[in-house]
Amino acid sequence: SSEGEMNNGSMGNGHMDHDDVVSLIDSTGENELNIPPVLKSDSNKGIEYTIRAQKGETEIFDGVQTKTYGYNGSFLGPMLQFEKGDTVKINLINELDENTTFHWHGLEVPGNDDGGPHNVLEPGKESTIEFEVTQEAATLWFHPHPEGKTSEQVYNGLAGLIYIKDQNSKKLELPSEYGENDIPLIFQDRVFDDEKQLNYKATANEDGTVGDTSLINGTLNPKLTVDKEKVRLRLLNGSNARNYTFKLNTGDSFVQVATDGGFLNEPVSMEEITLTPSERAEIIIDFSQVKTNEEIALVNEDGTTLLPFEITGQTGKNMDIPDEMNDFSVTEEEKNLPVTKEIELFGMMDHVTINGKKFDPERIDFTQEQGVTEVWEIYNKPDMMGGMIHPFHIHGAQFKILSRNGEAPPENERGWKDSFSVAPDETVKIAIQFKNKGIYMFHCHILEHEDNGMMGQVKVE
């Protein structure tokens, strides 16, 4: 798209060319980062939780109330802590004036509990789901998924975190004091109007709504105070459409320890990491070597300050990051499986399609047998304008990336994934198995593309 288009209003009403995306405003660091509360289980009921989708007002800017949505609060949601082997019961309540669903992104649950567009809860209605947590330690998240309305509801604030722990994560020596040296970071970009409101209808872009204002865990101008120790950051790209490339302003490297769905086998040293919408990564930054007065910050690709760190004089534990964390592997058998499902992503704005079709809730695009591994090949077909990155996601399973354009994936993608970027003209092969039955969505996680029909359904039977 041309320069002119992008200068026009809402950070661009035109087609989203990656290079054109408006920069974020630097964080001044004047507010301490908000840490989402841990959701307590309902009293005396074992592992039972209640989650309400609700409307509210939030003071994002000093002295101004912004109308927002949230789970069990006015903006964003709490953190749900599950353990592998738990049977979890969740009471879902819709206190909004519109339909919603509760989707557990990355969680391996039966289709009926997945909260896709078929699991609609009307305003004022409640329902209860119950499932067993069968997967390993990971950082997942939850958000709404009503047909055609996902982007607006997430934009208004519906998103929360799920942490899973297991025997392995409990014994690994990694920073794990929630809010102290184990910090969730939900990155989102927004546009605020003159009244400091989120006016989705006015700012929405068919190709993915991006904003100039960076929020982390809902905090404007955040900073994070850390001790001189290793700190684990659980990064979630929770934006509707923006890709983030995270790095340190000092150029120092950090290590990545986990992907979307679990630990990497060993820490991978990185100087920067790109996350497309809905991807997660856990990284560890060593602040023990940083001088107290040194200016250190997490910045975006173009140098924009996202999160300045303030270092206390306090020295924390000095743990060594274990060099063996998991036993993830791609078997020879998986490498040799034929491709049985082909997916072609194409188009832009509201012309996005998968295999030439738009989402139809009445149409099952694929079937797959429960417990059987298949290889899916996802291709991003360029258009006349070159095309754009589509972040591709499949519900109900963690899967393995086998190759990108025929080559082994980068080291930091050799772990469980539920979302991945697909660049124009790129082909990504994955091996996927579903543990449960049901109908699951697969889609582009640019939320406006999802809402515009860049989504299909696989029925697992």
State the residues that interact with Cu ion by CB under 5 A: 105, 390, 395, 444, 446, 449
**Which of 15, 103, 230, 234: binder of ligand C2O (CB under 6 A)?**
103
Q: Which amino acid is at 272?
A: E
Which residue has its beta carbon closest to ligand C2O?
A: 105
Q: Say whether residue 145 binds ligand C2O (CB under 6 A).
A: yes
Cα separation, 128 vs 224, in Å, equals 37
**Which of 76, 92, 105, 283: binder of ligand C2O (CB under 6 A)?**
105
Q: Which amino acid is at 42?
A: D
Residues 272, 245: contact at Cβ < 8 Å? yes
Q: Which CB atom, from 82 or from 102, has the smaller least distance to ligand C2O? A: 102
Task: Find residue 187's DSSP bridge partners.
Answer: 216, 237
Q: Which CB atom, from 72 or from 240, has the smaller least distance to ligand C2O? A: 240
Q: Say whether residue 280 binds ligand C2O (CB under 6 A).
A: no
Q: What does the DSSP assignment read for 274-301?
A: EE-TT-EEEEEEE-TTS-TT--EEEE-T
Q: Which CB atom, from 181 or from 243, has the smaller least distance to Cu ion? A: 243
> By rule CB under 6 A, what string of x and - marks binding of each residue 240-279 to ligand C2O?
--------------------------------------x-
Least Å distance between CB 430 and ligand C2O? Answer: 16
Cα-Cα-Cα-Cα dihedral sign, residues 102, 107, 113, 117: positive
Residues 243, 389: contact at Cβ < 8 Å? yes
**Which of 198, 285, 354, 441: binder of ligand C2O (CB under 6 A)?**
441
Q: Say whether residue 15 binds ligand C2O (CB under 6 A).
A: no
Least Å distance between CB 419 and Cu ion? Answer: 8
Give the number of residues in contact with ligand C2O, rule: CB under 6 A.
10
β-pairing, 160-165 with 79-83? parallel
Residues 383-402 that bind ligand C2O (CB under 6 A): 393, 395
User: What does 247 interact with, of ligand C2O, Cu ion, none (CB < 5 to 8 A by kind)?
Assistant: none
> Residue 136 — φ and ψ, nearest 5°?
-80, 175
Whole-number Cα distances in Å, 156 to 38, 42, 215, 313: 21, 26, 12, 38
Cα-Cα-Cα-Cα dihedral sign, residues 92, 96, 102, 105: negative
Which residue, among 205, 103, 24, 21, has the nearest Cα to 419 in the 3D structure?
103
Give the interface segment with ligand C2O, choosing from 125-133, 214-222, 348-356, 440-448 (CB under 6 A): 440-448
Residues that bind ligand C2O (CB under 6 A): 103, 105, 143, 145, 278, 393, 395, 441, 443, 445
